[in-house]
Amino acid sequence: MKSLDLKRFSILAELSDDDREAIAHVLEPQRFRRGRSIYRETAEADGLLLVVSGEVRLSSERCGDLGTLAEGGVLGGASLLTPGQREATVKAEVDCEVWLLPRASYRRLVEDFPRTACRLTEAIAADLAVLLRESLGPLADSTHG
């Protein structure tokens, strides 16, 4: 796996080639057949998931079908930074390949490549900030009506 392959993931696009190379060394490639569960809601959230090929479907008991995430999609960044449970079940919609960055590997990055880990943490925080702003938009609109 080459670090340049990681440029297609928005959360990693702004990192340097050296940073992406360090991350590439700790990613765990996995393949899933159509219909196979990648992880289940309420299981321990233990890392970042990058959708390399194919498509995954997200669903939850609370919200039902949450849609799909295709090649280039990213899930679970917050789980690198803090323990908790998965908020959704993720299944392979079609045969797919994903790369996992487990929390233990992220911690290795913190120790061995602190600059890379810091930049990845900043990218995760920026991604979470966008999600927060998007979720607050409808709330702000409803208070002004």
In a domain, 144, yes or no: no
In a domain, 124, yes or no: yes
Q: Please, what's the b/e burial string for 103-135 (b: 16 or more CB within 10 A of its CB; e: otherwise)?
A: bebbeebeeebeebbebbbebbeeeeeeeeeee
In a domain, 140, yes or no: no
pLDDT single digits (tens) 82-138: 888 998 999 999 999 999 999 999 999 999 999 999 999 999 999 889 888 887 876
When divided into structural domains, the chain yields a total of 1
Tokens read off for 41: 């809601």
Q: Give the residue numbers spanning the domain of 92.
A: 3-135
Asked whether residue 144 carries a pLDDT value surpassing 60, the answer given is: no
In a domain, 92, yes or no: yes
List the CATH number of the domain containing 38: 2.60.120.10
- 8 Å CB contact between 54 and 95: yes
Tokens read off for 86: 């998965």
Asked whether residue 79 carries a pLDDT value surpassing 60, the answer given is: yes
Contacts of 136 (CB under 8 A, 6+ apart): none
Position 131 scores a pLDDT of: 80
pLDDT single digits (tens) 2-37: 555 899 999 999 999 999 999 999 999 999 999 999
